Chain A
Amino acid sequence: MEVRFEGRDAIILRPETELDRFVKEFVSILEESGIGYVLVSGYVAILFGRSRNSEDVDILVENVDFGRFERFWKKACKSMDCINAENPKRGFEDYLSDSLALRFSRKSKPIPNMEIKFAKTELDEWTIANAANATLNGYVLKVSPLELQIPYKLYLGSFKDIEDARHLWLVTKSHLDNQMLDSFIGQLGVKKEAAKWLS
């Protein structure tokens, strides 16, 4: 496996898993539908080589109107199922608009699934607007800025999250914006955890 950086952009070369292929297929449908997105949480660590699998991939998407969402739904449901809403109207009104996640998986295969949410907060919108590129074997994926992602994982605080944070930090530390990292560590109240795990 190889990880190198060109500015903020990460170039990752490694064998792909079925999870990687599923993520690429899903984000290509978002892109075809003109919907901005950013991958967040566990898959970011997996993308950067963390040796674990995941049942779900968290993804924040631009807060679009129903028309654009419906076009995305129709494209997605050619090869995928929405697990928790039976039609686009219910998915839009009962889930996304109410800050609840919608889950999409390959047909008749609920795991793994993509867990999508609308960007609702200032932090969500900033994350989409400032997404970094992580190119996996030539395919560009938008990921949460690592300077946010690492402290956020420390904030979540489970063993798995702390391992993800430490993995991401060890792989990428020489390319991080330390001023930004320190700012998010402070805002998220994880100075003690950062002193322990990011050293």
Chain B
Amino acid sequence: MAELKLPKIDLKELARQKRRNQRERMAFVEWYAKQIAEGKA
């Protein structure tokens, strides 16, 4: 079977990305909710 050349996953970095993505998404949710509240969306 051919040898797989897969990347090594840095779990600490992945966990950091996951937390950052969650913060970014919440910021977008809040921004969009304010747009609606202000009649801009």
Identify the A interface with B (CB < 8 A): 56, 83-84, 99-101, 103, 110-111, 121-123, 125-126, 155-156, 179-180, 183-184, 187-189
Contact = CB atoms under 8 A, between A and B. Distances in A.
B41 A110 contact: yes
Nearest to A182: B4
Nearest to B11: A189
Contacts of B41: 110
Contacts, number: 46
B34 to A, nearest CB: 11
A101 B6 contact: no
B4 A179 contact: yes
Interface of B: 1, 4, 6-11, 13-14, 17-18, 20-21, 24-25, 28, 31-32, 35, 41
A188 B1 contact: no
Given A101-B24, A179-B1, A123 B32 contact: no
Contacts of A187: 6, 8-9, 11
Nearest to B3: A179
Contacts of A111: 32
A110 B6 contact: no
Given A187-B8, A188-B9, A156 B18 contact: yes
